[in-house]
Structure 1
């Protein structure tokens, strides 16, 4: 059995790509527990992780596929919080979906995916954003 920390936000297309990737991993879906995770940076409405569109979508899909999942939410800077959560939750790997950015945009705004890849010792599966 292995645990996958799945970093999600409100984007349903990215969540769909992540769900497809996890469902296609070798082995039985019974051997997977996905930790559906969101790092809140700004949450004026006081929403919980279960209320985010991307999270609800992937949870529904995993219900249909028979994949176990749990929820995790935290606040702060996404990259360090995701790495810390993966360690605290004893994850075996992380699944991220980046945003399409120009090279200049990545330099100016940074990339959570790139930061996580460079800072963690765990395997990271990166998924292309859905079209």
Structure 2
């Protein structure tokens, strides 16, 4: 069994790219368990991870392709929470979708993807949505 932590944000295009990458991994999709994770920073509506459009799209894609999945949600700093979740669940890989930012933008706004890559010893795969 191969466990993948899928760090999802609110962007549906990035979520579709992540689902597509996982479905394209070599081997049988029934050997994969994906953990669909979202870290809420602000959640005044009180939504759950299952209510996010991108998460629903990934779940639907996985239902059709036979990838097992489970949900994970927490709140706080996305970087530390994703790394802690990966360690706690002892996942084999982390899947993230990067945003296109300039180096200046990364300095000003930070980069969750870059910080997770630098903060974990686990393999991290990053995807970009098709334009």
In structure 1, the residue matched to 2:36 is: 36
Structure 1 segments (4+ residues) deviating >2 Å: none
**Corresponding residue for 1:127?**
127
Secondary structure of 1:61 counterpart: helix
The answer to whether structure 1 residue 86 and structure 2 residue 86 are counterparts is yes
Partner of 1:66: 66
Equivalent position of 1:117 in the other structure: 117
Mark the runs of 5 or more structure 2 residues left unpaired by the alignment.
none
Residue equivalent to 2:12: 12
Q: Is the 8 A contact 1:16 1:130 kept in 2?
A: no
Q: Deviations over 1:89-123 (max 9, x none)?
A: 12111000011111110111110000000010100
TM-score by structure 1 length?
0.97
Aligned-partner Cα distance in 2 for 1:106–1:27: 36
5+ residue gaps, structure 1: none
1:130 CA drift (Å): 3.5
Cα-Cα RMSD? 0.7
